[in-house]
Amino acid sequence: MYSDLLVKKSTIPGTGKGLFTKRDIKKGERIIEYLGEIVTEAELDRRAENDIYGYAFYISKRKCIDAYYTPNEFARYANDAKGLTKIKGITNNCCYVVYKNSGWIKAEKNIKAGSELFVSYGAEYWRDIRDNIKLDKEKAALKKKKQ
């Protein structure tokens, strides 16, 4: 598989696992292909309505990669340093790119061996997450009020 990458506990508290490199990576290098089930954007939306989301890579409306059901695919473990929990000194060092109709994580700067790989999920992703958190709190408050 990807012998130069490792999945272990993230350096960002509360995010679970993260993706780390065992070797130095040069700026501009394509590091790992984002693999998973190929679905349409409409199917991703349907899954999200059923709380099955969080590991999607959009190529086009007709081709999206959903790694939700593929925990052995390492690329899904790259976290976003600009997420809900920000740590001083930790910034994104990678980006998502489409190369030959497939999804990849690419280094945006030189990355030292032992470092965690961070990639931006985009503002829309975090807006949706915050909205879902707010809805969950409202549902919990309503449920508590009914009891």
Q: Residue 10 maps to which CATH number?
A: 2.170.270.10
Contacts of 76 (CB under 8 A, 6+ apart): 34, 36, 55, 67, 70
63-83, pLDDT tens digit by residue?
999 999 999 999 999 999 998
pTM of the model: 0.86
Comparing 117 with 85, which gets the higher pLDDT?
A: 117
Q: Is the pLDDT of residue 144 over 90?
A: no
pLDDT band per the 50, 70, 90 thresholds, residue 51: confident
How many domains are there within the chain?
1
pLDDT at 1: 47
Answer for the pair 73, 4: CB distance below 8 angstroms, yes or no: no
Percentage of the chain lying above the pLDDT 70 cut: 99
pLDDT at 58: 92
User: Phi, psi (5° rounding) for residue 30?
Assistant: -75, 120
Domain span at residue 101 reads: 5-146
**What mean pLDDT value characterizes the chain?**
91
